[in-house]
Structure 1
Amino acid sequence: MFGPQKVDPPDRERQMFMARPGQPLPWEPDHDLAGWRIDRDQAWRHTVYLGIYRRADVFDVLSQVFEPDQDSYDERPGGDSAIAAFLVGEDGRALLNSEVLSSCAWATGEVHRSQGCGPDWLALLQDAELDFSAEWRDFVTDEVFPGDEDTPPQYVPRVLDFADLMRCLEIAVGAAGTSAALSVTDIRIQSQIVARRNADSPGGHDFLNSFIMSDLALVAEQTAKDDIGAALRDYLRPATEIPTGRRVDVRDRLDHVLAGTAPRAVPSGRWPSNPAHALALNQQLAVITASGLLDTTGLIGVNGPPGTGKTTMLRDLIADLVVTRAQRLAALPEPSGAFTGQRLSWRTGERKRVIHPWNPNLTGFEIVLASTNNGAVQNVTDEIPAADAIDESWQEHAAEVDYFTDIATALLAPGPKAEPGKTPAAEDPHGWALVAARLGNKANRSRFVDNFWYHKPIDPAADDAWHGMWSVLKTYEQTPPDSTWAAATEEFRTAEARVEEVRAERAAVYQSLDHRSGLVAGVAGQRQAVAEAGQRADAARARREDAVDAERVHKAEADRIALARQAETEQAARDRLAVAEDVIRERTALIERLSTGRRATAERKVQSYEREAADRWTAHEAHQDDPPGWGEIVRTLGGAKRKWSRKDKWLAKQVAAAKQELTEAHQELGAVQTEIDAAQRDVDAAAYEVESVQRMLTAGIPVPDVYHEPLVTARRAVAVADEELTSTVHAHADATSKLQALEEELAVLDGRLADAAAALGRHYPDTAWWQDRERRELAALWTDAEWNTARSALFLAALALHKAFLRHLPTEMRQNLQAAMDVVNGEAPRDADDEAVLAAWQSLFFVVPVVSTTFASYARLFGHLGREALGWLLIDEAGQATPQNAAGALWRTRRAVVVGDPLQLEPITVLPFRAEQAIRREFDVDEQWLTSHTSVQRLADRLTSLGTWLPGDDAPTWVGIPLTVHRRCDQPMFGIVNAVAYDGLMIDGTAPAAGERFAATYPTLPVSKWIDVPGNAAQGHWIPGEGVQLDRILRTLATLDFDMSDVMVIGPFRDIARQVQTRSRRYRGLVAGTVHTAQGKQADIVVLVLGSAPDRPGARRWAASKPNLLNVAVSRAKHRLYVIGDHQAWSPLPYFKVLATKVPRTDPI
């Protein structure tokens, strides 16, 4: 809201006129413009700016309401703006719906009135805009038909004169409410030549307000509906939700860098630069990381310090994207497969446009290069298609492809507008291929359409005649293709096969390196294993020796015990022998006694009792044999029987008693014999014992086996130690064998890798690559001249295939591109089908891979497109862009590569810091979105996992993938910026040859120095004494016939810029202005005029508060830096003290 567009000062040469009473207006017949001759298809259109005011006045009003920080220095914005504007046709009538009320002027009036800001501002602003439009429309029109119930009234604009313009000014002042806040009286009119067909169209112009305000409103509305893509969603992510733990510092984690730049990841396409000049390592890492987004969505940040090859990096990314689309194109059996077969259309007046939607597989490659800085995008899109953007070695090949070289050359011509039929002048830059184009503002778009599409030569037969794309495609329609689609795709595949063949070779080396890493680790591990196995074997051997020693000790103990027991056994044997001999003697004597004594007696008893028993038995038998007869028994009446029976019983008793006595005698004899037998047995046993003992003693008592527990334990320990020793010895042998095998394998592999290292040279990650940062980062890995040649050839083959596609489907492409021209020129109907508009854009991007625009023009250029409609957004100089600038572009994009440097110039803000803080608090906006504190680059960097840390204001700052090889500045400039801003991050890759040639060409030029001019007298921040020294320098250069376009004179303050810009009128080509004007530029010589009022130290503190300003100023200088300023006042300040130590001080000349 507080970022109004500038209104240029009056300048008749640029058709900017001041409206004055009594003087003709530009549409009136007495004005000078009436005499201008323009083509019949052209017309004048005029922009009327009502109420010119100084933009600094807005700053002053805000500073009065929001008390400024006394310790800070906020420089006032320069230039003028207006409180309202509208368009007037060549007939002097206002173009209805072209009126614009300045939101900045209205808000300034509102702040002044309410002494603050409020949440209902947007609604109040809309009311004011509606009031202004209604009152202005009523005034500038006449009612020609009053209307009725069925028909609204019709109003026709009337011709306006000076008095009418003054009344319009009054209406604007009333609607804006600025009468008390801003002093406005003047009216300016900008006159422009436009195509007659567009002359009466208001075209949706907003001449005054922030270019992005309406787009921000759209994005906010869609975001509230969650209609938001990954790129913008990531961009808006709160700091607390960013996974900072995943960050990888590429200066420390070389393993990640090596893996991230492996051959498999190297893009197939490459820009046609010198094959021997590979990208720097981090340039390659950035390209690979960006290319990796193709299969996904999101954004990455690339930190590009000055002179580190941001454009070079982007060119390789562009080349790879073109190749990837060509790979998908080559996969089509027929070119018609590129379209879905559907037909869309719209009407523009009487013209019907037919659009063929694309196969989704061929979309997503649209590349938009955007920046806040028009010069930045112009530089890149002019550089990419220029003939000197490719190496001489590729010129012939590129000429053979001839990717619409004439059109590319025409688009590079410096003219402000297209000149139909004109052939580019010989001194104009020449193109090599139609790979990029400037769009953006209306003038650029019209110029592009005229040259790219409609151009026809005045003399078609002329050698240098060339045709626009419409004529080219018409010719293609009338002429069959030179070759079949199959042949065209085969040529591409042949080039692709060569790239993949070399990739496979490099991949094999990489895999061998990867294998070697494992192998080296394996050898180291195996050596450790061998050492450990040896240690274990030695330990086992020592333990065995200890066990054997212990066994020996315990064996001796056991032997002593055994000998003692042997002696005990021998003594026991002798004791047994003595006992046995005693037994023999005792028992033999007993036997003798028993045999001669009791046994003899018992034997005699037995003999006696046997005779007695026999006699008694015989008597009994005889009695038995002589019983009484029957007669005697009868005669005696049985008495004889009874007598015989009594005697028989008595005799039987006598026999029994005799037997009893005999038995007892026998028993007595047996008992004695038993004693004798027992004694004899004892004698026999004792005799046996004596014999055994005597044999034992004769033979000798053996040493007994003794069970000695310590010995048993010791012997078990020895057995265990033996087993362990055997095992460890075998293990050591096995480990040694494996080590030998690994070392032999490593030796063979090292031999192969040595050959690869010799072939690849600095593109091979040898030991020095890991140890020497400069060696490592100067050149990307694997991309030697052989592979670079194949990859660049593939890019040219991809362009050839794209061109062949146009040859095969010229009608479809002509129809689609015609629709695209409507869109680019703003002639497509507002209600055109979104899908049709997108297909038209996709067709243009198919032919022209890259288009550029500023963020200011982005919404008007791509207003028809919705969320994630386009494939790629490349943001250049993103450190200068406020966070809000990129929101609309990111919303419409799937992938974004954000390139810039937060340590160069920061976003320019027109609000005092205190005012910005007050507005932020009122609308509850997080401080991270303050335009004065952050940038698109910083927001992207925080989301990028690959990066590094750089010094920050209060703490180190994380930046995305850092480009580190600087190839612009000689010393001392390189050393200054590297120390001031980058903590030694950058590596000096500047070839000395250019500096040596410069010194040889201008031997009298002094070396870089600081001319000390005390700031005694001042005009604002301009020190006249410094101007004297500047003039002497410029005169000296002029006498040397130095090309002044290679000289830059800059200063930190606008007072200085105004003074030095007057010198640019005297010295043609001299670049002069504030340091901000130098961003993105370079010169052989830079003169830094420091200025600053002696009594305003806050201004100097502001200039030295951050490294950014000094970094930009110094890094513009390639060969010489001359500083003019008060050495005593500036040299103690932060960053400038580094400048003072590296640039010698001299007195004024």
Structure 2
Amino acid sequence: MGLKADVTRARVVEFWRTVEMFSPQKVDKPDREQRMFVARPGQPLPWDPEHELAQWQLKREQAWRHTVYLGIYRRTEVFDVLSQVFEPDQESYDERPGGDSAVAAFLVGEDGRALLNSEVLSSCAWATGEVHRSQGCEPDWLSQFQDAVLDFTAEWRDFVTDAVLLGDEETPPQYVLRVLDFADLAHCLKIAVGATGTSGVLTAADIRISSQIVARRKAENPGGHDFLNSFVMSDLALVAKQAEKGDAGAALREYLRPEADIPIGRRIDVRERLDHVLARTAPQLVPGGRWPSNAAHALALSQQLAVITASGLQDEEGLIGVNGPPGTGKTTMLRDLVADLVVTRAQRLAALPEPGKAFTGRRFNWRTGEFKRVIHQWNPELIGFEMVLASTNNVAVENVTDEIPSADAIDESWRERAAEVDYFADIATALLAPDPETEPKGTSVAGQDPEGWALVAAKLGNKKNRGRFVDSFWFHKPDDQKPDDWCGMMLLLKKYELEAPDTTWAAAVEEFRTAVARVEELRTERGAVHQALERHSVLVAGVADQREAVAEAGRRVDAARARCAEAADAERVHKAETDRIALAQQAKDEQSARDRLAAAEGVIRDRRGVIERLSSGRRVAAERKVQSHEGETTERWNAHGAHQDTRPGWLVTLCTLGAAKRKWSTKDNWLAQQVAAAKHDLASAHEELAAVQWEIDAARRDLDAAAHDAESVQQSLAAGIPVPKVHHEPFETARRAVAAANRELTSAEHAQAHARAKLQALEEELGVLGGRLTDAAAALGRHYPDTTWWQDRDRRELAALWTDTEWNTARSALFIAALALHKAFLRHRPTEMRQSLQAAVDLVSGEAPRDIDPDAVLAAWQSLFFVVPVVSTTFASYARLFGHLGREALGWLLIDEAGQAAPQNAAGALWRTRRAVVVGDPLQLEPINALPFRAEQAIRLEFGVDEQWLTSHTSVQRLADRLTPLGTELPGDDAPTWVGIPLTVHRRCDQPMFEIVNTVAYDGLMIDGTAPAPGRRFAEKYPKLPESKWIDVPGDAAQGHWIPGEGVQLDRVLDTLAKLDFDMSDVLVIGPFRDIARRVVTRTESHRGLVAGTVHAVQGKQADVVVLVLGGAPDRPGARRWAASKPNLLNVAVSRAKHRLYVIGDHKAWSTLPYFTVLAAKLGRTDPV
């Protein structure tokens, strides 16, 4: 069974890998400013001395490196080819991936020569060519593609190489490479098109060249990176291989659990089972660490339940899903989880006898260039806390990792204490600074760059982020011109090595333990209240039960007394009663015998008369009737036989033209009927005779029985009826009953006394406990589960239990104390940390050797996570970042916007992780599939995997939700959808936006927790701004899905906002289709700061004002039906708007569609202005 399950899991991953063949990376559009050029005949190439790049003055340590993209094609072309082979429903509409890609690519050095081992063949182009050739798909595509890659590599390498200088046994052969010109590139394109079989299938004509400035020492290093194909495809190959060997790990194994193997009977609906919610949020389970937010602002109950459940994974492995509808505080929830994990690691750190015991003493080594690296292995107690925040959406993960270290993420009341600890706030601030290449300085709120409070998170992932992290975190040196400039971590640790710590390790631990003690003291108090509350519930039920027990004891006493009296009366009268009964019974028996005798004699007389009458009357008549019918039957039979003899011959029949035959037949039929009637009458006569005989036989039987009974009674009467013998046993029984009743009375009276005493004790305890709980309820306020907590859902959900201001303050202080202890550790062990972090920086920057000890890699990463608890990456960059790591190497994977992530994207990350918290919403945007549905179905059938693994039907969030026993049900397409722990308190949108999304998508799950003050301030600031509304623009004329009339209305809305001096960075203009997005994006040129695009592009964003431009070609209603097929798109669009929503579109065409009916009902309709 285990082996079969491993193979099944592996086939699912292989299926996903095949799907990923059709997910190529995008190739940027030509842009001189971004140094993306189109290669054209007769024009210089970027490495030619005549090219404009030759005028650039690079630093000595810099060099040019160029990426050549061969055969540019639109990714929609792939979709079109697949749709031709796997014909879709003509009424359907598939959201298609946009952008361009290429058939092949390779790197060229600054001297114009190709870099061997950099060549990449597009899996998407090759697979598209195969589909076109075979008009279908095959399960061995993966191996066939590898063969095609080998063929392409050989032919391409042979072409770009002028000669090969053969070496001896010790010297490898050397390739002499030609300097490439346009004709050479064109020939490389021809090789690539031939290798992929895409001639006439994809346009694949243009060649683009991207030129990058790189470190000179890396310029000739191809890097081994696939910059053309799916980011996760190679990682899926590794995961599939390991899964087949049973090396999947707990988190990934759970993730790939088939639907049929999920014990849905163990699911607990948190909206229904409040007793479970109360038990699972008990003070004993509340995390010790808390984010330093406003202590008076506790988490919502659902957030606290999610944090506690996630924190509970520390003692096990696996994953949970958290359903995070828009505006319900996903980041807030994750921050508290981060705080708890940092505190837990600090507790283990404090338990060490001395800081050196944080390491095992084992050291690893590797060389980066000429430099030797030393990495120190960590004590197992201190590992497993590594947190990676990942998502498909780069903006989503960067938003979280930018928010966590930002000073705005902590309450004003904590900033002084945070500054005292100073957990590398300068480095955090540097990492938060805008990217000088894309964002000007001072672009944040109030024109100031963001300030960091602590180095608790950093964004890694893509090369640019990693480079910025390495420069700021590690290498930064103070500017001599800036006396207050800061140091990077490398210089800080070197400084720590040269000076004594400002406090002893014992003192640092004691300070931390003091904070722990305060938290635990308050926990104990609240735990006592919780236990008292549980005891109170038990007592209330116990008192009710005991009162019933006292009443029952009283009833027993009364009944026992009554039985005593009854037994005594019975004892006195029993003798007389026995005599009377005996005599009466004798008389009754004698009279009964005489009555029986008289009755028997009557029966004898009656039966004799009956027999005589039947024998002489009815039987004689019946016999005569039989005789008569026998004669009649014989006569008719003979007549019919005689007639048979007169049947006319053929000649007579012919001569009379059949008349004689017809006449004879008529009479023959009549005679046959006469015979049948006679036979029937004869049978009836026989039956009548038999019935008379049966009555005679019955009467004789009755006569015999009555005669026998009469003889028996006569004998009894002759002998005399005896008087019944009455013994004294009834009297003895009555006397025993008296004794038993007395004993029972004594027992009942004792039980009554005991029940009364127990009731009194319970009532006294209940009274004392009730007083304590009254005091506790007054102290805890809304954080105490009084009777209204059970009855009022809004009151229940808005605030977590037990976490009052006092405890929240202590828990936040503990988190800061934990950071202080981590920093103190660096002060006491700076050398080990500097050495290990230097190795980690090699890994982040890509400088580390490829073939190094995985244990050394892991120890280096663990060192980085010790200093920076959370790092973020997209799934696309995950394998490149953590590719050296193996199964379950890291502690925690925090997945954000998981509803938008295709299921295959998370497989590699889950394989490398012990525990995963998957946060997202299946009712917001779903993954955009690179394949038409029917094409994916065909691939699935070839692999023989279940439909539940279709990437077009599921997401990372859906797979995690189904595995999470705590959750609830939300409306689904065909049946309710189970979601993991739901976050329910929404704190973003004003009305009517909140009511729209809560109705359309969440079945009323969410609670409106949006503070009224921001909405009031907004209305006061812009009193002339209209309320949210639907501007009705009939879609008569269209350009694709763009309606020009809607564009006119959009411009008027934007102009109105501009005249009100509205900050356009707080405006989103979105549409469901790319045709709309392309048009609305042009408005950003005239309205600085405006954000515009498709609905997909703005998930994770929010704005004061959202303008939703619906569009929709009138002659292509399938597109509108697609947009309204699920609540997701409308949910995301509406929930971006904090204060105003303006919908522009054809009210008649859209308002009758599913979900848009709600939008139409909640928004007032107006004519164009």
Q: Does TM, scored on the shorter chain, surpass 0.5?
A: yes
| Cross-structure match for 1:874 | 894
Give the distance between the partners of 2:358 and 2:792, measured in 1 at CA. Answer: 49
- Structure 1 segment 43-58 matched on structure 2, within 5 A: 43-58=63-78
Give the distance between the partners of 1:957 and 1:916, measured in 2 at CA. Answer: 23
Give the distance between the partners of 2:554 and 2:1066, measured in 1 at CA. Answer: 73
Amino acid at match of 1:517: S
Give the distance between the partners of 1:148 and 1:443, measured in 2 at CA. Answer: 41
| Cross-structure match for 2:601 | none
Amino acid at match of 1:183: T
Contact kept? 2:36, 2:210, Cα under 8 Å = yes
Q: 1:762 pairs with 782, 790, 793, which one? A: 782
Amino acid at match of 2:1043: I
| Cross-structure match for 2:976 | 956
* 1:23 is the counterpart of 2:77: no
* 1:436 is the counterpart of 2:451: no
* 1:1006 is the counterpart of 2:1026: yes
* 1:801 is the counterpart of 2:846: no
| Cross-structure match for 1:445 | 466
Amino acid at match of 2:463: K
* 1:1040 is the counterpart of 2:1042: no
* 1:489 is the counterpart of 2:509: yes
| Cross-structure match for 2:480 | 459
- Structure 1 segment 86-165 matched on structure 2, within 5 A: 86-143=106-163, 145-147=165-167, 152-165=172-185
Give the distance between the partners of 1:1098 and 1:59, measured in 2 at CA. Answer: 17
Aligned-pair Cα RMSD in Å:
2.2
* 1:350 is the counterpart of 2:373: no
Cα shift at 1:551: 5.3
Contact kept? 1:907, 1:935, Cα under 8 Å = yes
Give the distance between the partners of 1:149 and 1:386, measured in 2 at CA. Answer: 58
- Structure 1 segment 923-942 matched on structure 2, within 5 A: 923-942=943-962
Contact kept? 1:460, 1:466, Cα under 8 Å = no
CA offsets, 1:207-239, max 9 Å, x none? 111100000000111111111211111111111
| Cross-structure match for 2:873 | 853
Amino acid at match of 1:1026: E
* 1:1057 is the counterpart of 2:1077: yes
Amino acid at match of 2:1082: T
CA offsets, 1:1046-1081, max 9 Å, x none? 111111111111111111121111111111011111
CA offsets, 1:134-173, max 9 Å, x none? 2222222332624467755311333322222222211211
Give the distance between the partners of 2:559 and 2:327, measured in 1 at CA. Answer: 64
Amino acid at match of 1:443: K
Q: 1:862 pairs with 882, 899, 912, which one? A: 882
* Counterparts in 2 of 1:1105 and 1:212: CA distance versus 1, 3 Å: same
Cα shift at 1:397: 0.6
Give the distance between the partners of 2:553 and 2:938, measured in 1 at CA. Answer: 74
Cα shift at 1:731: 2.1
| Cross-structure match for 1:603 | none
Give the distance between the partners of 1:558 and 1:933, measured in 2 at CA. Answer: 88
Contact kept? 1:1048, 1:1086, Cα under 8 Å = yes
* 1:270 is the counterpart of 2:295: no
- Structure 1 segment 913-924 matched on structure 2, within 5 A: 913-924=933-944
Give the distance between the partners of 1:443 and 1:192, measured in 2 at CA. Answer: 12
Give the distance between the partners of 1:805 and 1:460, measured in 2 at CA. Answer: 31
Contact kept? 1:1009, 1:1145, Cα under 8 Å = yes
Amino acid at match of 1:1007: E
Give the distance between the partners of 1:776 and 1:1024, measured in 2 at CA. Answer: 49
Give the distance between the partners of 1:80 and 1:988, measured in 2 at CA. Answer: 43
Cα shift at 1:1027: 1.0
| Cross-structure match for 1:982 | 1002
| Cross-structure match for 1:1147 | 1167
* Counterparts in 2 of 1:880 and 1:963: CA distance versus 1, 3 Å: same
Cα shift at 1:332: 1.1
Q: 2:530 pairs with 496, 510, 515, which one? A: 510
Give the distance between the partners of 1:321 and 1:274, measured in 2 at CA. Answer: 20
Contact kept? 1:418, 1:447, Cα under 8 Å = no
Amino acid at match of 1:440: G
CA offsets, 1:607-665, max 9 Å, x none? xxxxxxxxxxxxxxxxxxxxxxxxxxxxxxxxxxxxxxxxxxxxxxxxxxxxxxxxxxx
Q: 2:904 pairs with 869, 874, 884, which one? A: 884
Give the distance between the partners of 2:1154 and 2:398, measured in 1 at CA. Answer: 34
Amino acid at match of 1:1051: G
Cα shift at 1:740: 1.7
Deviates more, 1:221-230 or 1:856-865: 221-230
Contact kept? 1:869, 1:894, Cα under 8 Å = yes
| Cross-structure match for 1:1021 | 1041
Cα shift at 1:97: 1.1
Cα shift at 1:554: 4.9
- Structure 1 segment 754-793 matched on structure 2, within 5 A: 754-793=774-813
| Cross-structure match for 1:1084 | 1104
Contact kept? 1:329, 1:362, Cα under 8 Å = yes
Question: How many residues of Structure 1 are paired with residues of Structure 2 in the alignment?
Answer: 1003
* 1:902 is the counterpart of 2:922: yes
* Counterparts in 2 of 1:248 and 1:460: CA distance versus 1, 3 Å: farther
Contact kept? 2:896, 2:920, Cα under 8 Å = yes
Amino acid at match of 2:1039: Q
Deviates more, 1:86-95 or 1:739-748: 86-95
CA offsets, 1:183-226, max 9 Å, x none? 12111122222333323221122111110000000011111111
| Cross-structure match for 1:412 | 432
> Based on CA coordinates, which of the two structures has the bigger radius of gyration?
1
* 1:1123 is the counterpart of 2:1134: no
Secondary structure at the counterpart of residue 340 of structure 1: strand
Cα shift at 1:722: 3.6
Give the distance between the partners of 2:437 and 2:1043, measured in 1 at CA. Answer: 41
Amino acid at match of 1:457: P
Give the distance between the partners of 2:962 and 2:509, measured in 1 at CA. Answer: 42
| Cross-structure match for 1:588 | none
Secondary structure at the counterpart of residue 47 of structure 2: coil
* Counterparts in 2 of 1:740 and 1:418: CA distance versus 1, 3 Å: same
* 1:368 is the counterpart of 2:391: no
| Cross-structure match for 1:993 | 1013
Amino acid at match of 1:1099: A
* Counterparts in 2 of 1:460 and 1:433: CA distance versus 1, 3 Å: farther
Deviates more, 1:307-316 or 1:112-121: 112-121
Q: TM-score, normalised by structure 2?
A: 0.84
Give the distance between the partners of 1:448 and 1:41, measured in 2 at CA. Answer: 20
Secondary structure at the counterpart of residue 952 of structure 1: coil
Structure 2 residue runs without a partner (length 5+): 1-20, 582-725
Deviates more, 1:742-751 or 1:194-203: 194-203
Contact kept? 2:442, 2:448, Cα under 8 Å = no
Give the distance between the partners of 1:529 and 1:205, measured in 2 at CA. Answer: 79
| Cross-structure match for 2:334 | 314
Secondary structure at the counterpart of residue 346 of structure 1: strand
Contact kept? 2:442, 2:449, Cα under 8 Å = no
Give the distance between the partners of 1:274 and 1:417, measured in 2 at CA. Answer: 36
Cα shift at 1:308: 0.6
Give the distance between the partners of 2:181 and 2:842, measured in 1 at CA. Answer: 34
Contact kept? 2:165, 2:176, Cα under 8 Å = no
Contact kept? 1:522, 1:742, Cα under 8 Å = yes
Secondary structure at the counterpart of residue 356 of structure 1: strand
Secondary structure at the counterpart of residue 163 of structure 1: helix
| Cross-structure match for 2:1115 | 1095
Cα shift at 1:25: 2.2
Cα shift at 1:14: 1.9
Structure 1 residue runs without a partner (length 5+): 562-705
Cα shift at 1:711: 5.6
Contact kept? 2:390, 2:873, Cα under 8 Å = yes
Q: TM-score, normalised by structure 1?
A: 0.85
Contact kept? 1:422, 1:457, Cα under 8 Å = no
Contact kept? 1:558, 1:711, Cα under 8 Å = no
Give the distance between the partners of 1:547 and 1:356, measured in 2 at CA. Answer: 92
Secondary structure at the counterpart of residue 111 of structure 2: coil
Contact kept? 1:868, 1:891, Cα under 8 Å = yes
* 1:893 is the counterpart of 2:913: yes
Give the distance between the partners of 1:309 and 1:267, measured in 2 at CA. Answer: 18
Cα shift at 1:44: 2.7
Give the distance between the partners of 1:1005 and 1:1079, measured in 2 at CA. Answer: 25
Amino acid at match of 2:459: R
